[in-house]
Structure 1
Amino acid sequence: MKLHYILSSTLTSISIILLYQPGAKAICSNNQVDAIAEKVTVLIDSSKPGSGVIIQHQGNTYTVLTAYHVVKDRNLKYEVVTPDKQRYQLNYQTVKRLANHIDLAIVQFNSNSNYLKAKIGNSDLIKRRSKVYVAGFPVKTAGVRVSIYDCRNGEVIANTSQESPGDGYTLIYDNPTLPGMSGGGVLNSQGEVIGIHGQGEAAKNVEFDRINPSIGTVKSGRNAGIPSRIFLPLLARMGVDVELSTSRIELPGNPTIDRLNELLVQGNWQEADEETKWLMLRMSQTNGVLNEQGISRLSCSNLSQINHSWMTNSQGRFGFSVQARTWKNLFGNKFESTNKYFESFATEVGWRYRGRFLSSSQTNYSLNAPVGHLPRSFLDGPIWGRFIAYLDTCKI
């Protein structure tokens, strides 16, 4: 029988039996990853069930990241089933899509129990043939009459740098996933979630089981997920804090650096300042503003490129190296994160005037601004001492 494959992000009512190559192992072979994935993966139960990943815990409220198509029907009744088999009614008011064109959403449930939250890894480090693991709850079948946790081995086929049209599925892998696993995590070998699964190859003209017509047979193929490099900035903009890997993010080809260059060449200082903030948050995997942990995750090479762009397009007036030089002119090699040091530094670069800090709306976005005035919006307060110290270690 010849099968014609299509890529589908929808859950199908057909149960699929997968055929494997001789000797192939589908079940998760990494015991550590399997143990972590089982503790952070939930079943989102409904008449069209899917999976999700616990990413945040505040008070008695848990936040789950899933594929939007799993929870898009507001007319269905949804329940979140946790690893200890407890069921929690999902309040649809908590369902929030991350972006109109991205197939991701967050949902929330309340519980006094203690559940593990996933650590989010750096998807930019995932290359072709990297081992990945997809966890979730396959739908019920005639043979397996309950949705039970499953974890599947596989390798990455491609991790592309551009979003596919309309959905964000750019991480492609060969894990033999099943219907119902949409919304589950794609994990690296350290047990960190580096993507959310949501698409699998379906088949046309499947030969159905004559005894049970709800069962079809198809050889597993390519599947796709949305990588963390796409959903981390979206979560940050929604104010969702997540636990992050300490791996540094490199930006191969620096497509976003090109955008910064374009803005600086145009002399669009304000948007360039905002773009720099976005880049810094993305590189440090930090929400809101940089903290000490975020600073330590910054890549020296990326900082150098951002600095070079500011320097060359501002006649040497703006950039990290200019700010570092200003600091050292004031304090030498003392990088103390104190109010006293920061107040003097802020006065020197024009962020403080006559003893008062200027608001962000009073930032001078022109070449007439004091030397070292920009970039500004990505960092605020005495922590500038730590950032200048980090620039010093990077020799910037």
Structure 2
Amino acid sequence: MDWRLIMLIACIGSLSVSPLGAKPNLGVLNAQGSKQKSAQQLQQLAKSITVKVLSKDFLGSGILIQKNGSVYQVLTNAHVLRSGNPPYQIQTPDGRIYRTDLSKMSNRSTLSYFHGNDLAILQFRSPQFSYKVASLGHTSTLSVGNEVFAAGFPFDSQGIQDTGFVFRQGQISLVLDKALEGGYRIGYTNDIVKGMSGGPLLNRAGQLVAINGKHAEPLWGSPYVYQDGTKPKPSLLKQMSKYSWGIPIEVFMQMGSPSFINNYSYTDIQPEVNQ
């Protein structure tokens, strides 16, 4: 077989299709075949794709996940949105604040759209300013001990405002065979605190592999229940409580639907309200 044909087949086979119905993000590649970045490069990248989710006050973090024309989709945790009331706002890395309107989606029960997984999407329009969006990786390439990098905006001590962008290095500690409630399956040593929920977890190549959502050492209750209602063994529970937890990006890729975007009226999304 001609070597050029072999290379063409290999390149085609490495691409993944975007679940959002927009143009595929050609950054969706296997991390093993992607160039690794320095910690400084990763921090700059994380800062460029991580946003603040606001209502009347700061609610948590989010990720610029996809762009369709002048409309951006932000991926965050459903529990971040439940902690406030619409209308929600997005503050982008350049400090601009954009409105987003969920009223058109109210009959679709937006906050449970991802079938019980702790994920939600906000959308905003930016006709004048362009923003970087995340490249998607694969958690199937992650192994215990792999370096990962978490980002977000922690709350202050009063739990009202954020204290600014943080970037924290750690490593994969557990990858569960089946998901916990909310879709959580990836455990890692990065110090995740309140406010960083909805922020990105990146691999060494700068690809988004999971969404932050649970911090270590929960203060009350037992958040470690599998989606089928069973509980991990006590020995595993004790180990799990030591780590932060994220939702694999594949959950979003599998549950995302082109109809989510196609049924949304972009004309109802308001442009920025504060520069």
TM-score where L is the length of structure 1: 0.46
SS at match of 1:62: strand
d(CA) in 1 for partners of 2:218, 2:116: 25
Q: 1:92: how far off? A: 2.4
Q: Does 1:132 align with 2:124?
A: no
Give the C-alpha shift of residue 50 in structure 1: 0.7
Q: In 1, distance between residues paired with 2:53 and 2:260? A: 23
1:229 corresponds in structure 2 to 250
Structure 2 matches for 1:367-378, cutoff 5 A? none
Distance in 2 (CA, whole Å) between partners of 1:137 and 1:74 is 16
Distance change (3 Å), C-alpha of 1:170 and 1:80: same
Aligned to 1:41: 50
Mapped pair 1:66 → 2:87: no
Partner of 2:254, secondary structure, is helix
Whether 1:152 and 2:168 are equivalent positions in the alignment is yes
CA distance in 2, matches of 1:240, 1:171: 28
**CA distance in 2 between partners of 1:147 and 1:45 (Å):** 14
The one-letter amino acid paired with 1:69 is H
Q: Which amino acid aligns with 1:56?
A: Q
Percent same amino acid at aligned positions?
A: 30
Q: 1:146 deviation in Å?
A: 4.5
The AA in structure 1 aligned to 2:119 is: L
* Structure 2 spans left out of the alignment, 5+ residues: 1-37, 221-240, 263-275
One-letter code aligned to 1:104? L
C-alpha deviation, 1:78, in angstroms: 2.4
What is the aligned length?
198
Distance in 1 (CA, whole Å) between partners of 2:161 and 2:256 is: 35
Question: For residue 176 of structure 2, what is the amino acid of its counterpart?
Answer: T
From 215, 219, 226, the equivalent of 1:200 is 215
Residue in structure 2 matching 1:167, options 182, 198, 203:
182
- Alpha carbons 1:98, 1:235 under 8 Å: kept: no
Equivalent in 64, 87, 100 of residue 90 of structure 1 = 100
1:52 paired residue among 62, 72, 83? 62
Rg larger in 1 or in 2? 1
Cα distance in 2 for residues equivalent to 1:171 and 1:200: 12
CA distance in 1, matches of 2:100, 2:118: 19
Which of these residues, 118, 121, 125, is aligned with residue 110 of structure 1?
125
Amino acid at match of 1:66: T
- When residues 91 and 202 of structure 1 are mapped into structure 2, their CA distance, relative to the original with a 3 A threshold, is farther
* 3-state DSSP of counterpart to 2:195: coil
User: Residue 74 of structure 1 contacts residue 92 of structure 1 at CA under 8 Å; is this kept in 2?
Assistant: no
Q: Is the partner of 2:133 in helix, strand or coil?
A: coil
Supply the distance in 1 between the matched residues of 2:84 and 2:157 (Cα, whole angstroms): 25
Cα deviations by residue, 1:325-364 (Å, 9 ceiling, x for unpaired): xxxxxxxxxxxxxxxxxxxxxxxxxxxxxxxxxxxxxxxx
Instruction: Give the Cα separation in 2 of the matches to 1:146 and 1:105.
Output: 21
* Alignment-derived partner of residue 40 in structure 2: 31
Deviations 1:237-295 (A, max 9, x none): 65669xxxxxxxxxxxxxxxxxxxxxxxxxxxxxxxxxxxxxxxxxxxxxxxxxxxxxx
Shift of 1:111: 1.1
* Pairwise CA distance, 1:74: 6.5
User: How far apart in 1 are the matches of 2:242 and 2:259?
Assistant: 34
